[in-house]
Amino acid sequence: MKILIDIGHPAHVHLFKNFAKYMQQSGHEILFTCRDKEFEIYLLQHNDFKYVSFGKKYNTTIGKLFGLLKFDLMEVYQAIKFKPDLFLSAGSMYAAHASFVYRKPHFTFEDTFNMEQVRLYLPFTEVVFASRVPKNVKIDEQKLYRYSGYHELAYLHPNWFKANMDIYKVLGLKNGEKYILIRFVSWNASHDKGQSGILDNQKEKLINELSKRAKIFISSESPLPDKWKKYQLKAPAHLIHDIMAEAIMFIGEGATMASECAMLGTPAIYVNSLDAETIKEQENYGLLFKYDNGEHILDKALELLDMPNLKEFFKSRQETMLKDKIDVTQMLINYVEEYI
């Protein structure tokens, strides 16, 4: 069997990597397609996956419209060359459109239900894997495959992930030394349109105060000002989950990294006006704290830092969550093998 997997975000490489490795070991052929956006190509190369890059993404409205046509055509061309039996993605309109042209099924994962994207892929998609569907979203139940889990449990479930303790050496820290991971986004993604996070003056206060309490590492999609470059995270991208697992806390504007930390039992402060059902559920488990803006996040961060046995307390919350959730990679393997 040949499977074409389209990647739109670094997290999508992680979402499918264990599935892809298992299927390859079982004798199936995998091809990844992607855009050169952030760390997608690096992660595909690190995992020794066969891939085709379609080049840089476009950030302007006109550019995105042009990109939709361009990347659609490139995806169709790769399908004709590769001859896949199945298309997989996490909300990719390119994979969906190519699957329609090539007359093969498209399976997709969905967790944010950004309807601008959903409307573009849904008519051409056979199966939508979703753990939660917002009440205001209407999707044909025959297309939905509901499961109890999160995207992040495809690669951060204990069945697949064990933290590398060498991460302290990579970061230049002593074993067990406290550090905080901070993440700033660029606000260029389509789902970021009209959304907001931490203001510059709030970032300034946050960094100044927290750096007095622990080591600070900043991951940023946009270039950091000179005054903050000393805090810039410089570790290889494939080690990011090891860094998250050992961090005392995460503060950031990206939903994916916030959820990943929640899966690892690292307390996460998520700052973004954009919400999602999965985020709300992780809040209910007490693993994540959601704020629409940066106004009160410093107070929350200091409150958490003052908690005795902070990591142990959140690890117990993680264990409670894991009892309720499935191994998402195993679920996908089972579904595709039954489809075969």
Quick one: 237 and 319 in the same domain? yes
Q: Has residue 207 been placed in a domain?
A: yes
**DSSP H or E stretch at residue 298:** helix 297-305
Q: Has residue 309 been placed in a domain?
A: yes
Residue 232 is classified by DSSP as B
**Predicted local distance difference test score (pLDDT) of residue 46:** 96
**Predicted local distance difference test score (pLDDT) of residue 113:** 86
Q: Has residue 162 been placed in a domain?
A: no
Q: Based on the structure, what is the number of domains in the chain?
A: 2
Quick one: 6 and 123 in the same domain? yes
Characterise 198 by phi-psi region: left (phi > 0), alpha (psi -120 to 50), beta (else): beta
Q: Residue 120: give its domain's CATH number.
A: 3.40.50.2000
**Predicted local distance difference test score (pLDDT) of residue 152:** 95
Quick one: 147 and 172 in the same domain? no
The Cβ of residue 272 has, within 10 Å, a number of other Cβ atoms equal to 24
**Predicted local distance difference test score (pLDDT) of residue 135:** 83
Write the CA distances from 55 to 35, 36, 71, 75, 265, integer angstroms: 5, 5, 9, 12, 36
Quick one: 300 and 226 in the same domain? yes
**Predicted local distance difference test score (pLDDT) of residue 191:** 45
**Predicted local distance difference test score (pLDDT) of residue 210:** 97
Q: Has residue 288 been placed in a domain?
A: yes
Q: Has residue 146 been placed in a domain?
A: yes
Query: Residues 6 or more apart from 29 whose CB is under 8 A from it?
Result: 1, 2, 3
Quick one: 10 and 150 in the same domain? yes
Quick one: 203 and 148 in the same domain? no
Quick one: 140 and 278 in the same domain? no
Entry pTM: 0.89
- pLDDT tens per residue across span 21-74: 999 999 999 999 999 877 899 999 999 999 999 998 877 778 788 888 999 999
Q: Has residue 126 been placed in a domain?
A: yes
Quick one: 262 and 206 in the same domain? yes
Quick one: 202 and 95 in the same domain? no
Quick one: 251 and 278 in the same domain? yes
Beta bridge partners of residue 29, listed in sequence order: 2
Q: Has residue 140 been placed in a domain?
A: yes
- pLDDT tens per residue across span 212-221: 999 999 999 8
Q: State the Cα torsion 6-9-10-13 to the nearest 10°.
A: -20
Write the CA distances from 136 to 17, 115, 133, integer angstroms: 32, 10, 8
**Predicted local distance difference test score (pLDDT) of residue 66:** 85
Residue 35 is classified by DSSP as -
Quick one: 108 and 244 in the same domain? no
Tokens of 170: 């990579």
Secondary structure class of 183 (helix, strand, coil): strand
Low-confidence stretches of the chain (pLDDT beneath 50): 187, 190-192, 194-195
**Predicted local distance difference test score (pLDDT) of residue 190:** 47
Quick one: 131 and 12 in the same domain? yes
Q: Has residue 53 been placed in a domain?
A: yes
Burial tier of 68 (Cβ tally within 10 Å: 0-12, 13-18, 19+): middle
Residue 67 domain boundaries: 2-157+326-339
**Predicted local distance difference test score (pLDDT) of residue 192:** 46
